[in-house]
């Protein structure tokens, strides 16, 4: 199992430049601690998560790091032209010397994104799957012709080509259609911080029924803080957890209210945003608690990568948590 850093570029102090460069400093700290990967999220129209121009942020990371692999977690494909994404991804892979990992998602539950990009939530998944199929052809083939429902091109070749012979692809979804698509194309899967272990196990099981080997590259993101005691860790992480809980509950209420197809209610066997649920499903606690939680996730899911999302609002405390992980947790899991 590889260890990665999950990067949201959170603007907790209402200072965008500070937020950007504190996140860069955390990535460089993770690289110095021999973390294998750093995964950057894409968010739009958020005062807190300011990684709207994710690929620009990653291009900067490519220039200030040398060994850590850089992953998109994830490009929200319905909101982008896939031809342009193919060009940007190929360029970024060259900039980071072949260290790129390419994760994609449909976006949500963030209704404002769909509203302002004029993409209905009902068609987001179909657009994502069609877009990644086109992008994958454009990255490695010449004279590509593609005639989909949403995207078309005729005898198109994009330049440059990626440095890697095959950039690893990850799909962030627990939807059955997306899992089947990923398995049949030998793409890997990603699971977000609030997804319950029960749901994740079903996702991986469904994948392995179709493709017995590819799920071993599963990337799981978890909220994270290692403290000297459980109480210290929870106290430090709780402001972040509370803020996340409130934001996601508000977004989810809008999704449920506007759903025309009976959107499935959130529950603790699937995904939930209650504070106690988020703490329970995170890697937050003293070193022994964090060891036990990591071991459980790995044993149940056979993880390829565990991506840790630091949860303190204080930069120095996040650095100390990463260092404590390296000293007191890493060698025991």
Question: What token pair was written down for 6?
Answer: 């999950």
Q: What is the pLDDT of residue 269?
A: 72
Note the helical H segments in 44-196: 54-64, 82-95, 111-117, 121-140, 176-184
Q: What is the per-residue pLDDT for 181? A: 96
Look at residues 136, 221, 139, 206 and name the one whose alpha carbon lies nearest to residue 172.
221
| The predicted structure's pLDDT at residue 262 | 46
Per-residue pLDDT of the chain (333 residues; tens, 9 = 90+): 999 999 999 999 999 999 999 999 999 999 999 999 999 999 999 999 999 999 999 999 999 999 999 999 999 999 999 999 999 999 999 999 999 999 999 997 888 999 999 999 999 999 999 999 999 999 999 999 999 999 999 999 999 999 999 999 999 998 999 999 999 999 999 999 989 999 999 999 999 999 987 667 999 999 999 999 999 999 999 999 999 999 998 888 887 666 655 455 566 778 889 999 999 999 999 999 999 999 999 999 999 999 999 999 999 999 999 999 999 999 988
Model confidence, pTM: 0.95
pLDDT of residue 130: 98
Intra-chain end-to-end CA distance of the chain, in Å: 9
Residue 217: burial class (beta carbons within 10 Å; 0-12, 13-18, 19+): buried
Q: What is the per-residue DSSP string for 234-247?
A: HHHHHHHHHHHHHH
Beta bridge partners of 221: 307
Pairing of strands 152-156, 144-147: antiparallel
Pairing of strands 37-40, 188-191: unpaired
Rounded Cα gap, residues 247 and 47, in angstroms: 11
Q: Which domains does the chain have, with CATH numbers?
A: 2-332 (3.20.20.30)
- Could you tell me if 162 and 100 are in contact, meaning their C-beta atoms sit under 8 angstroms apart? yes
The CA R_g of the chain, rounded to the nearest whole Å, is 19
Q: Give the burial string for 9-21 (b: 16+ CB within 10 Å, else e).
A: bbbbeeeeeebbe
Nearest to 272 by CA among 214, 199, 205: 199
CA distances from 63 to 39, 46, 94, 99, 108 (A): 16, 26, 11, 12, 30
Closest Cα partner for 290 from 238, 237, 225, 201? 225
């Amino acid at each position: 199992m590889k260890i990665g850093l999950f990067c949201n570029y959170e603007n907790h102090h209402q200072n965008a430049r500070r937020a950007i460069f504190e996140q860069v400093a955390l990535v460089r700290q993770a690289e110095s601690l021999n973390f294998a990967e750093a995964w950057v999220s894409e968010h739009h129209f958020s005062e807190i998560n300011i990684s709207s121009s994710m690929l620009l942020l990653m291009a900067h990371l490519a220039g200030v790091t040398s060994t850590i692999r850089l992953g998109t977690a994830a490009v929200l494909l319905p909101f982008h032209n896939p031809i342009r994404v193919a060009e940007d991804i190929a360029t970024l892979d060259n900039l980071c010397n072949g260290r790129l990992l390419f994760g994609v998602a449909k976006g949500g539950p963030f209704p404002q994104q769909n509203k302002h990009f004029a993409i209905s939530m009902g068609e987001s998944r179909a657009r994502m799957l069609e877009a990644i199929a086109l992008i994958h052809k454009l990255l490695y083939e010449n004279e590509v012709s593609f005639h989909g429902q949403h995207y078309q091109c005729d005898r198109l070749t994009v330049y440059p080509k990626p440095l890697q012979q095959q950039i690893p692809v990850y799909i962030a979804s627990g939807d059955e259609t997306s899992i089947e698509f990923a398995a049949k194309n030998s793409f890997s899967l990603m699971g977000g911080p609030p997804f319950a272990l029960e749901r994740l196990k079903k996702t991986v099981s469904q994948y392995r029924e179709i493709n017995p080997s590819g799920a071993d590259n599963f990337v799981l993101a978890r909220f994270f803080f290692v403290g000297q005691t459980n109480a210290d860790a929870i106290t430090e992480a709780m402001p972040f957890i509370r803020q996340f809980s409130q934001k996601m509950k508000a977004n989810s209420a809008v999704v449920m209210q506007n759903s025309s197809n009976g959107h499935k209610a959130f529950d603790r066997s699937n995904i939930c945003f209650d504070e106690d649920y988020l703490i329970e499903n995170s890697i937050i606690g003293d070193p022994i608690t964090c060891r036990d939680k990591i071991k459980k996730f790995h044993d149940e899911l056979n993880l390829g990568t565990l991506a840790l999302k630091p949860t303190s609002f204080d930069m120095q405390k996040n650095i100390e948590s990463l260092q404590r992980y390296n000293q007191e947790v890493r060698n025991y899991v």
